[in-house]
Each structure stands twice: as C-alpha cells, then as structure tokens.
Structure 1
Amino acid sequence: MGRLSTSPPPPRATELRRWTLSDATDLRGLRAALHKELTGTVLAEDAALDEVPELIVLIATELATNALRHGIPPTIVRLLATDGCLVLDVADHDLSTIPELADTRPVGSGGRGLQIAQKLSLDVGWYATDTTKNIWATFPRT
C-alpha cells in the first residue's frame, strides 16, 4: 500500500464552512450544503461531475465516507480558502492509523477515496493534531 505525504494544509487558509458528521446519513446533507456553498445552487441529482465544485463534492463524500467507516466519529469536514486554491480538510478522531492508498484492492471493493482524490485534485496529504487525523485535498479556485 502507498502512503500519502505528511504535511499540514496551506498555513494561511481561511475556513469558509464546517460540517460535523456523526454517521453516513449525514452525507447527503454534506453534499447539498457543500455544493450550495461553492456555487450558490443546489446540486441536481443528475448533474455531471466534471466541474471543480462537483469534483470537490465527490471527493468530500469519498473522504468523509472513509472517515465515518474507518475512523472514530465525529467526522469534521472543512472547506478552506487560500489566495490560489480551495482546500478540503476531512478529520476523524482515530489517531492510531495512518492513511494508506488502497492500491491492491479489486475495483468495486471500496476504499478508493484517496486514489480518487489524488487523481482529481491538485494535491493530497494528511496531518495529525492532538485530537484528529486530517486528510486534505486542494483544488483551483474557479
């Protein structure tokens, strides 16, 4: 399994919005609220996921699902901004594990959120605080 780079997100990032998730039923609300935060509109059920806001929503869902499934709740999702990019930061409270890329799992078996984030974002990494393990991904500002 591969490892992610260990480093904090950009230091001058400003928090735009924060969501706290306790279980998978909170994911739908996260997707809708995050898309509205990014675009001012609600994400349509059949919307194509090819623009930056939709990609951020997709990756937020993948990373939050991983955190809810494999971490210790609550999962905290933050949308941050710097001068040049948007930062998605997803935290859980399990400090006993290190994020790993699931590169050996069969397609369709799940656990590919980090790989998807690496392919669709500018950069991905992780860091730990005293109480959380955070995975972040950066995106261009549109």
Structure 2
Amino acid sequence: MTLLQTRTPPDGFRLVQRWELDSVHALAGLRSSLHEVITGEAEMPAEDLTETPARIVLVASELATNALRHATAPRTVRLFARDHELLLDVVDHDPATPPVVSGGRPLGEGGFGLRLAQRLASQVGWYSRGTAKHVWASFPVTDHETVACGPRALDGMRLGPRSQAVA
C-alpha cells in the first residue's frame, strides 16, 4: 500500500465543465457527457485506450468511483484545459483521508483505480484545501487528436462565466 504523491496541479488551466455526483448511478452520465465535451460526439465508440478521450473518460470514472465509495459528499468532477493539456480534478469532502494506491491485491478485487490513473495520465496527484480533497490527473493533447479535443477547440468551449483557475 502506497500513498499517492501530494502535489497541486500546474497553473494556467481554465474550467471547461463540472459534474456533481450523488451516487454510482451518475457515473454513466458522467462518462457520456465527458466524452461529448472532449470530442463533440454524443456516442462513445468502443474504448481504444490509445486515444486520449477514452483514457480521460476511464480515469474520470475510476477517480469518481473512488470518491463515491470512500469519501463524503459533495463530490464533483471538473475538467480543465490549457494549451495542449487537459486536467481532471475529482473533489470530495474527506480531506483527512489520503488516496492510497493499491498494492498486491489479486485481480478482480478492485482497488486499482489510482494505479490505472498513473498508467494512463501524464501526472497524477492530490492535495487538500480547507474541507476539500482534490485528486487530479493531467493528459497531453496533441494536434493529431480529434478536433474537438484539440487545444484550439477547447479555447472557446464553455469557458465563459464558469471559467476559473484550479482551486
């Protein structure tokens, strides 16, 4: 059992979208909506983890599931963007309990969400501020990704009055 590294995400991200989660039943809607925000497409194709959108959706689902199972409400998933990078931030209100990366559990017994995030994201970390705990993961977005996922498309996407720095 290993604690996830405590660190804040890099600066310069702007809020794209946020989702409030009240139960595991909200996860399917989160996955679908997140995929649409990133790609501009309502339907999720079969997962191809070589594609950034699929990796982001999978990591969001894993981190959100952890927040729903192990932490207190409210629980929020936020997507941030800056040039050539997307950042997921999953917020819960159990700041005293650090995220733990699973160790030697047999496959099928769960507990691999943070390990999966570490494999699929470029950076993963966590920090607490006030009554909130943030677990975050960042993903590079290259020019060959889908147009809606590219940095120029995200510059204008839902970044109006809801824009804010990562807090």
Residue 131 of structure 1: CA displacement?
1.8
- Matched length: 142
CA distance in 1, matches of 2:8, 2:35: 24
The answer as to whether partners of 1:35 and 1:42 remain within 8 angstroms in 2 is yes
Q: Which residue of structure 2 lines up, in the alignment, with residue 38 of structure 1? A: 38
Comparing 44-53 and 128-137, the one that deviates more = 44-53
Residue 45 of structure 1: CA displacement?
5.8
Residue 95 of structure 1: CA displacement?
1.7
Q: Which residue of structure 1 lines up, in the alignment, with residue 89 of structure 2? A: 89
Q: Which residue of structure 1 lines up, in the alignment, with residue 138 of structure 2? A: 138
Q: Which residue of structure 2 lines up, in the alignment, with residue 19 of structure 1? A: 19
- SS of equivalent to 1:42: coil
- Cα distance change of structure 1 residues 92 and 40 upon mapping to structure 2, 3 Å threshold: same
Task: List runs of 5+ in structure 2 lacking aligned partners.
Answer: 143-167
Q: Which residue of structure 2 lines up, in the alignment, with residue 103 of structure 1? A: 103
Q: Which residue of structure 2 lines up, in the alignment, with residue 116 of structure 1? A: 116
**Percent identical residues:** 48
Residue 119 of structure 1: CA displacement?
0.5
CA distance in 2, matches of 1:111, 1:16: 29
**Amino acid of the structure 2 residue aligned with 1:59:** V
- Cα distance change of structure 1 residues 135 and 104 upon mapping to structure 2, 3 Å threshold: same
Alignment of 1:41-52 (within 5 A): 41-44=41-44, 46-52=46-52
Q: What's the TM-score, normalizing by structure 1? A: 0.94
Encode CA deviations 1:73-109: one digit per residue, 9 max, x unaligned. Answer: 2211000112231111111111221111011222111
- SS of equivalent to 1:36: helix
- SS of equivalent to 1:103: coil
The answer as to whether partners of 1:94 and 1:132 remain within 8 angstroms in 2 is yes
- SS of equivalent to 1:96: coil
Residue 3 of structure 1: CA displacement?
1.8
CA distance in 1, matches of 2:52, 2:46: 16
- Cα distance change of structure 1 residues 44 and 81 upon mapping to structure 2, 3 Å threshold: closer
